[in-house]
Every structure is written in structure tokens, then in C-alpha cells.
Amino acid sequence: MKSLIITISLLFAAISCNKGGKENTPPEKQPEKVEKVPEKTPEKKEVQEKYSNLIPRKKIFGNPLKTGFSISPDGKKIAYIAPLNNVLNVWVETIGKNDAQAVTKDTYRGITNYIWTKDSSSLLYAQDKGGNENFTIYQVKLDKLTVKALTPEKDVRAGIVATNKRFPNEVLISMNARDKKVFDIHRLNLKTGKMVLDTKNPGNVLGWLADYNMKIRAGMVMDKDAKKSLIVRTTPNGKWKTLLTWDYLESGGPVGFTKDGRSLYIMGNKGSDKYRLYTIDIATGKKKEIYTNEKADISDVMIHPDKMTVVAVTTEYIKKEWKIFDKEFQKDFDAMKKLAGDLRFGLISHTSDLKKWIVATAGPKVPGKYYIYDRTKGTFDVLADTRPELKDFTLNEMKPVEITARDGLKLVSYLTIPAHPIKNHRPMILLVHGGPWHRDRWSFDGMAQWLANRGYWVLQVNFRGSTGFGKNFLNAGNKEWGRNMQHDLTDAVAWAIKNENIDPKFVGIMGGSYGGYATLAGVTFTPDLYAAAVDIVGPSSIETLLKTVPPYWKPMMALFSVRVGDIEKDLKMIRERSPLHYADRIKTPLAIFQGANDPRVKVSESDQMVQAIRKNKKEVMYIVYPDEGHGFKREPNRMDFLARTEVFLAKYLKGRFEPWTAWPGHTAKEK
């Protein structure tokens, strides 16, 4: 186990689909000349109050002061992410000493994730090339500050599956070196550097799970009908058998093994609407329920790293809630709750003996604050605020709201309200989350805070198909791209116009990944609704998206077929839901941003949309970053994207803006 906290991934928990769905009829052609997107800051007369109460973009989106804290297993050192020459790197300092030093020296894309080895002598981190998501695992030895590539193979995606304090010199690593479509498990010895094949993927395993003794004994597979199965073996070299199955309408997967290895903790919704947590005996199949919540899915499960018992679970309907099972930790959670007040809180890392924890708090107006919690003393010592400079500004309230869709479905949403609204002007931006099998949360959201500071009401909607709200809500989004999922967004805009007095002439839409698709769908399927639109790495054609997925997504294509659409059986529907085919209906000023190396949504998705728009003699601002992937990781590119977006939105929605200046080092290419 990597940590006391185990968060279920998409592979193990969010796999459920539906074969239903009616065809969507796009609107009639409505050609209209689109005003040219500005290439420079609008004139002063075009935007009211544009400079008042502005929070500089860099203070929200620039590299944080310090973030990503983790305590070493022996409790002697702290590691964290912080800039070195304006590039994020890993730093380490001894607790109680002023000896902080950067232990990595990346000079370009930065490092944003790492873990301690269990003997506290090294750090492991993953990094790709230009956003291609073929991650290499590196080891930093702290005694000599040497960096070594543990998985040096080219064009291979590697990931850390398990570490274990009982086996401090070993790491289980997944790699698709043998077959780009699937991941085998390799056992690496950190002392010798020797790596051996531990478990070969038979061709359909999506994810693996190790037991208390760091042996791979469970996996999740998917068949051609999107039925998921949990396979297990009683011994490390034993025969695999199927223990549980979930059909295409269900979700579920293993959380971890019990200490004796005889049972598994399972989280899933087989036989229920919401995720339940239960144990299942591997030999007999007998189940024992631990917890379910009628309002929301279980989101996180915390397992004791020594006893392998359930410590706590979290659920999140509108706000995050905790349920504690291990009374040994009740006082600790009570103390964290008291510390956090109305904010979210969580355990980030801990020492091997569990005596010291790294705890974090956050909320809509609090980007994140880290503490060292001493369980023996019951004290919290502040480590850092991630963005202390924001204390000098008034941040914006995030109000939870429940919006009723046209068919009666309740949509948990969040409205961020400008602390400094523009006089006599109420513009709004619909900010659409990606995934789409993801969700928005009541927490700090840099995009929402930034846009609200510019005078926009910001609405974030958990449309049908979002995760966390139960099986029925998730499945309500199956095969509904561009149809009912999009209707939810349209209905939310209507709600805001009616209930929040939003000016219908100044509504924008913006989002990344699926949110980018929803943006393109918004300006093609409802061309009169939005006054400005920003698409970030969004697919323009479901057909070409499904044809160009990364090789390691191939075993999951059955999932996409029944959830999004079968590229052969549903081709007519897929094409009707693809904004690419309705580019001539766009009236809305549109900006498109894309990473050239994106492995999920290829640059061709944006290329073809731009080509179709310009073929119809419409204008679009198109920016490509040649050294980025599915999002913009480098600070110069991130700041360039934000500056261009801010000026673009101000042009059409009349919000405030910080004047555009070229950010040193950005690689943006206007096309």
C-alpha cells in the first residue's frame, strides 16, 4: 500500500455503461458572420472597470510557493514541490533544521508528483516527454543526490503499483513494454537495480492489486460486452479464478486485501444504486457489508497499513463528509475537523509508525494549507500556505445549488459569485468539467476564482454522467454526449438567467477535455445561447476520437462502445453528436487551445475543427503548444493561455481583464 489513503481509480470503480440512447437532431443551419477575435488588448472604452480589484493571474496560476508535502516514513524529513529557477522541482528538508534543498534539477516541464521509498533514503517520481504521457520512473538517492531512470525504455508508459514497508527495497511497476495495449507487472529491486517480470498480462487485465505481502493476487478484466470481472488467486503462483462480475450498468472493484489475504475489500454498486463498501471471502464468496450512504457514493477508503482494516471512508454529495470506523483514530479526526472548521480536510501522508501525519485543509476561498500533526501531542504545526499572496485579496463565494433538469433530474452544481461585481452588468461563464466521468466539488477552484474576480458569475454543473451521485445518475449519461448531457448544461444556463438575473446576452462557455467537447457542442447545437466560447483540448468528432485512442486504452474500448457509442453500430448517432459536422452553424466567437503531444485528444481533433470553421469563412482563434499534452503544465504556456483567454472573454462578455503581455518562455503557435 502506498498510503493510508486509497482512492479508487476509473479502472476499478467508474466502469459502467448503457446501450440505450436516442438520436439527437442538430439545429437548422444558422450561418452568420463571426467578429474577428482580438489579437491585442481591447481599447479602454470596450470594457468597464477593467482594472479594478484585479487579482494578478500569476498569483492564482503561477507556480505555488510550496505544495505536495509528504513526510518521510522515518519521520525525519519533509519533501515538497516548489520552484527552482521558476520550474517546479522536489525539495527536501530535515524537520527542525533550515537545510531545504532541491533534490531534482528539472529545467523545463517540472516535476509534480513523487513518493518516498519505504527506507526513507530515496524519492521516486514519474515524468513524461512533452505531455505524451509515456511516463518514466526515476529514483533520486538523497545521500548523493543522484538521479537514475528506473524504466528507461523509450515510448513505454510506466507506473508505480505498490510499495510496502515490509519490503523496503522493492517496488512493483506496471509497464506496457511487451505490448503497448496492456500492462505487465515488474518487480524492481532498488538496491541492485534489477527488474524482473512478475506478472504477465493475459491481454485483458485493466488493473492489478497486490496483497499485504506485496504479491499480485487480484486484477480487473473487461470482456467485449463491457462486463467487468474481478479475478483472484489464493497464492501468488496459483490459478486465477473469477470472484465477482459487474455488468455494463454496474461499477465496482477491489480496494485492498485483508491482512490474512483471505478476503478483499470491495467498493461497488452491484445490487444498489450507491457504492457500498463490503468484504468478500475469496474462498466462499460470502459478503459482509461495512458501509453505504443513501445520498452519495463512497469516494475514498482509508486502510490501516499494518492491520489492513478500514479506518474511515468519505462521501461527497454537496460537500465532503467523513465516517470513522477505527476508534483509535476518532480523536485525530475530531482534531482535524476542529482545525478545518467549514473547510475540507484530509490526511496526505504519514510516518511508518503513524505518529506523525501531513494534514491539509482547503475550501473555495482557501487554496490549501499544510500542517504536521503530532498524534502524541495533539498539535498542528503549519508547514505552508500554497498561495499566501492571495490573502491580500477578496476571494469569491462558491454557493452550492441544486438545479432541476427538464426531465426532473437533480444536478448538484456550484455558483461562484463575484465579490466585486461589475456595476449594472451580470455576465456568466458556464465552466464544464472534463472526464466526463468526473465531478466538480466544493473546494478551491483557480479557474472559478479567476473568472469571478473578472466579474463573471461562474456556474459548474455536475451533469448526468458525472461520478459520485450513484449508478442511476451515472448511467443517465450513457450515450448522451451532445444530447441529454448537453441539455443539462443548457437547462443550467436557463436556471441562472431566471434565478440569478444573469444577462442572457453575455453567457460564455468554457471547458477542457470533455468540457472542450461540451463547449463545441454548445456553439453548434445551441448556436444562439453563448456569446463566447473557449475549447481546451476538446474532441470535435466522437468518431475520430474513438479511432485514435492510445494503445493502452484498447482493452477498454468495450466501455466506450456502450457508454459513448459503438463506432460501427452507432456511427450515424456518433456523427450526429459530433460538433465537427456542424461547424457552419457556429455564431459564437470561439477560441481553441491544444497541446500538440496530447495522446488522449489528438491535435488532429482541433485541426479538423478549425479547418471546417474556416472553410465556412468563419473566424476562430487557434493556439497550439508544441511541448504540451492534455493540458498545459509549463508555467509559461499556462500563463500565456490564461492571458489570451482573459482578453478574448473581455472582448465579448465585457468582463474585467488584466492586460495581455507575452510571457517569457511560452511556445504558443498561432495557427
Distance, CA of 636 to CA of 351 (rounded, Å): 36
- Per residue, the 3-state secondary structure of 371-417, as one string, reads EEEECCCCEEEEEEECCHHHHHCCCCEEEEEEEECCCCCEEEEEEEE
Distance, CA of 251 to CA of 465 (rounded, Å): 13
Q: Cβ(443)–Cβ(523) under 8 Å? A: no
Q: Which residue shows C-alpha cell 516514513?
A: 73
Q: Which of 70, 513, 541, 561 is catalytic?
A: 513
Distance, CA of 56 to CA of 61 (rounded, Å): 9
Q: Which residue shows C-alpha cell 472604452?
A: 45
Q: Which of 535, 598, 627, 640 is catalytic?
A: 598
Q: Which residue shows C-alpha cell 505536495?
A: 68
Q: What angle do CA 435, 440, 442 make, to 5 degrees?
A: 160
In angstroms, the Cα distances linking 19 to 127, 454, 538, 563 are 37, 43, 24, 7
Indicate the pairing of strand 457-461 with strand 428-432: parallel
Q: Is the bond into 436 cis (omega within 30 degrees of 0)? A: yes
Active site residue 598: yes
Distance, CA of 532 to CA of 114 (rounded, Å): 39
Q: Which of 186, 304, 350, 630 is catalytic?
A: 630
In single-letter form, the type of residue at position 453 comes to N
Active site residue 630: yes
Q: Cβ(622)–Cβ(595) under 8 Å? A: no
| DSSP, residue by residue, 246-307 | E-TT--EEEEEE-TTSSEEEEEE-TTSSS-EEEEEETTT--EEEEEE-SSS-EEEEEE-TTT
At 379, which helix (H) or strand (E)?
strand 379-385
CA atoms within 13 A on the CB side of 289: 12
Q: What are residue 210's DSSP bridge partners?
A: 216
DSSP state of 46: G
Beta strands in 513-615 (DSSP E): 532-536, 590-595
What are the residues whose beta carbons fall under 8 Å from the beta carbon of 316, sequence distance 6 or more?
296, 299, 439, 441, 468
Q: How far apart are the first and last CA of the chain?
A: 47
Q: Cβ(80)–Cβ(101) under 8 Å? A: no
Nearest to 120 by CA among 170, 72, 76, 79: 72
Give the number of other Cβ atoms within 10 Å of residue 284's Cβ.
9
Q: Write down the H helix ranges in 526-556.
A: 542-547
Give the number of other Cβ atoms within 10 Å of residue 33's Cβ.
9
Per-residue cell: 139: 529514483
Q: Which residue shows C-alpha cell 473566424?
A: 619
Catalytic residues: 513, 598, 630
